[in-house]
Structure 1
Amino acid sequence: MRSLILCLLLTLPAVCARAAFTIQPWPETADPLQLPPPLSWTGPVRAERPFELCALYPHLRDAYWLSVNQGMVEEASRLGVGLRVHEAGGYGASSEQARQLAACAREGSDAILLGAVDGPALAEAIGKSPLPVFGLVNALPPAHVVAQVGVPWYQMGWRIGHWLALRHPAGSPPVRVALLPGPEGRGGNSVVEPGFSAAIAGSAITLVDTLRGDNSREIQRSLVQQLLTRHPHLDYLVGGAMAAEVAVNELARRGDQGAGQGPAVLAIYFSHGVQRALLRGRLALANSDQMREQGRLAVAQAVCLLQRPDASEAQCPRHMGPAILTLSGPLAASGDTLSDPAFRPVYRLAPGAPPPRQ
C-alpha cells in the first residue's frame, strides 16, 4: 500500500503501469507440446528500501547481454534500486565469475543476479555466497538459487527443429542441415542441441555437421567458412545470433543468397543483426526470448522476493520468463527484445538514479 501511495503521489502513471508483466511460467520439465498458459503478474511498484543488486554476466560483447543490461537498468531505475554489473570475459571464465560472486558481498550488495558461464563449475562458489542468488537467463539447479528468470533453451532448439520438420516430413526429399550452436557445454547450448535433435527426429532432415565455438565474430566466421567448404550443397545453416549474422554476410559476399544457391539461414536467438537480416529477407527464421524483458523481470523478481521472502508463487513467481517468439519476419516492435541503438553498457546505477543518458 505504501508503494502504491508513493507511486500515486509521484504522479507517474506510465511508470506505475509498467509494474504489470505478461509472464510465461517455465516449469523444469517444460514439455514443448504442453506448456502452461501465460499469466499476468503485477511486480513491485517501487522498492521499499534502496536495495543494491549485483548482476554477473558472461560478457557484454554482443547484442544479447547488452539488451539484458538495458532491461535491468530500466527496471532498477523504475524501482529505485541500485545495480552493479560485472562481466566475466567469456564462457570460459568460470574462475573469474566465482571471484565476482565473492566480490558482490564485499561491495555491500543485497542479492546476486547470476548469468552463469558454467553452472556446475560455480556450484561451490554459489553455495558459499552469503547473499541470495537468482538465476539470470542461463538455467541453474533450483537447489542453488532462490528463483530464476529465463526460458528453457531446449525449447529454443526444439522450435527451430520443429519448423524444419513440418516443412520436410518423412517421405519428402532429404535435406541437409548444419548446426553452429555456440560454445560447447556453455549457456543454453547443452540443451539447444538435444531440443533440436528431438524435433527433427523422424523427418527428412539429416544433421550433417555440428561445429561449436565461442561467440566471437572471428571464430563464428571461421566456422561458417569451414561448413560451407565441407558441405557445398547444404540446405540449411542453423546457428546462434552471431553465427547467423556472419553466415548471412558470408553468403552475400559469395553471391550465393542472391543466386538462391546457398543454404537458408535460421537463428536460434536474436540480435540487432538478426533483425536487419529479417528485414532484408536474408534470414528464414529466428527465435526471440525477449532478453530486454528478461532483464526487467529479473530485477522485479529479485526485489519482490527481497521484500517478501515468504511470498506465494502468485505474488512472486520463482521460475518464469517471457514467451519465446519464433519469427519468419522482423519484429514489429523490438523494445522487449533489443537494446536501443544508442544504448551503451551500464555498469553502475545508484539507488534512485534515472537511467544514464546515452
Structure 2
Amino acid sequence: MNYVLKTATALALATAIPAIAMAADAWYPYEAEEVTPAFAADGAVNPVTYTPLEKAEKAWNICVSFPHMKDAYWLGVNYGVAEEAKRLGVKMNNVEAGGYTELANQISQIEDCVAGGAEAVVIGAISFDGLNNVISEIAGKGIPVIDVINGVSSTDISAKSLVSFATMGAETGRYLAEKHPAGSDPVKVGWFPGPAGAGWVEAAHSGFLAAVEGSAVEVLEPRFGDTGKETQLKLVEDVLQANPDVRYLAGTAVTAEAAQGLIRERGLQGEVDLLAFYMTPGVYTGIKRGFILAAPADSMVVQGRIAIDQAVRILEGKDYIKHVGPKIFVVDPDNINDVPQTDILPADGYKPVFSVN
C-alpha cells in the first residue's frame, strides 16, 4: 500500500504527541491510526503514516454535510474539508443542518446535494442510526459516502475518517481518575455529554463512565443537551445550584467555554475546575490562560482533510484506508506550550467556507 508506512519509527512516533506536519507547507505525512477490521467498534488500532494524493485527476463534486456550524469545533472541520478540496483541486459544497434536533433537515440537504450532482458525500451525522436509510439510497446509486467525526451505524458507507469518542471520553475520565484514585477523598463531577441520541455523545458518555469506575470520582446525573452556548450554560447553572460541593465540570467544549465566565463571576476558580472531552480554539485558549484544566485533542482539521482525500481516492479507484483517524492525546498546562497547533485547530480568524469551485 503506497499510502501507508508501518514501521518501528511510526510506532515510536504514535506513542508521543503526534508529528502533525513534516514540512512547513504541508499537513502530511501525518501520524495517524487505522482501525481493523474497518468499521468495527472494537477493532485493533495500528499506527499508520497517512499521505494523501498530490492532486485529483478531475474536479470531482463533493458534498459535505454537518450538523451545524454553531461552535468552533465544526468550524475546524470546515477548515479541513475546504482546504483539502482546494489543495486537491475538487469542488466542495458544505451544508449545515442547524443543530442536533434537525435530523430531517440534514436528510433533506443531503438528498438535495445528490440531486444537484454530488459524486461523493461526506457526512458529519446528527444521529448514529437516523441517516441509515438515506445513506443506503445514496450508496445504492454508486455514490461513495464517507463518515466523518460523529459516526454512523450504517454498513453502506465507504470509509470512516474519525476517532473513537469513547476513547475521547475515556481519556478525560482517566485524567480525573489518575488525580483521584480509589482510596483518596471522593470528588463530585458534573457531566455534560452533549445532545442525547447522537452517536458521538453516547460513545463519549460510556467511555467517560468506564474510565472513572473504581476511582474516587463520583459522577453526578448526566445533563444532556444541545451544544448551543445558552443551553449548556443553563445546564451548568443548574448543576452548580443543586450541587454546591461539585469539584469538576466536564463535558463538551461548548460546556467548558460557556462555564469559564460563570466560574470567574462566582469566584470559583480553583474550587471548580473545567474539562472538555474534545478540543476547540476556545478550549485551547482556556487551557493556556488557566481557565480550563484539560482536554484531549482529536485534530478535527485533519479528520476533515482525510475525509476529502478518501472521497477522491474512492472516486478514482485508488487504494485508500477505510477507517482511520488522528491519534488522541490530552492537552493540559504541562504540555500545552509543546503541542503544535497546526491541524489541531483552524487558522486564527478563519471564517467558514461553504463552497469551493
TM-score between the two structures when normalised by the length of structure 1: 0.87
Indicate whether 1:226 and 2:226 are aligned.
no
In 1, Cα distance between equivalents of 2:191 and 2:224: 8
The match for 2:172 is 160
1:282 maps to which of 276, 282, 291: 291
**After superposition, what is the alpha-carbon deviation per residue over 1:58-87, rounded to whole angstroms, capped at 9, x for unaligned?**
011110110100111111111100000111
The structure-2 alpha-carbon separation of the partners of 1:176 and 1:35, relative to structure 1 and needing over 3 Å to count, comes to: farther
Indicate whether 1:335 and 2:339 are aligned.
no
TM-score between the two structures when normalised by the length of structure 2: 0.87
**After superposition, what is the alpha-carbon deviation per residue over 1:291-349, rounded to whole angstroms, capped at 9, x for unaligned?**
111111111111111112xx5xxx41000011112111336432212112221111111
The match for 1:345 is 352
Per-residue deviation, 1:16? 8.7
Q: Which runs of 5+ in 1 are unaligned?
A: 1-12, 351-358
Indicate whether 1:93 and 2:97 are aligned.
no
The match for 1:304 is 313
- The farther-off stretch of 70-79 and 329-338 is 329-338
Q: For residues 105-144 of structure 1, what are the structure 2 equivalents within 5 Å?
A: 105-129=114-138, 130=141, 131-141=143-153, 143-144=155-156
Aligned length: 328
Q: Secondary structure in 1 aligned to 2:345?
A: coil
Q: Secondary structure in 2 aligned to 1:336?
A: coil
The structure-2 alpha-carbon separation of the partners of 1:61 and 1:46, relative to structure 1 and needing over 3 Å to count, comes to: same
Amino acid at match of 2:62: L
Per-residue deviation, 1:144? 2.4
Q: Flag the structure with larger Rg.
A: 1
Contact kept? 1:177, 1:209, Cα under 8 Å: no
CA RMSD of aligned residues (A): 2.0
2:209 maps to which of 197, 201, 205: 197
1:150 maps to which of 162, 187, 207: 162
**After superposition, what is the alpha-carbon deviation per residue over 1:25-45, rounded to whole angstroms, capped at 9, x for unaligned?**
1345566xx963421122211
**After superposition, what is the alpha-carbon deviation per residue over 1:250-300, rounded to whole angstroms, capped at 9, x for unaligned?**
10011110xx3x311111111121111111112111111101111111111
The structure-2 alpha-carbon separation of the partners of 1:279 and 1:15, relative to structure 1 and needing over 3 Å to count, comes to: closer
Identity %: 35
The match for 1:356 is none
Q: Secondary structure in 1 aligned to 2:131?
A: helix
Per-residue deviation, 1:119? 2.9
The match for 1:214 is 226
In 1, Cα distance between equivalents of 2:40 and 2:332: 27
The match for 2:327 is 323
In 2, Cα distance between equivalents of 1:16 and 1:44: 15
Q: Secondary structure in 2 aligned to 1:344?
A: coil
In 2, Cα distance between equivalents of 1:285 and 1:161: 11
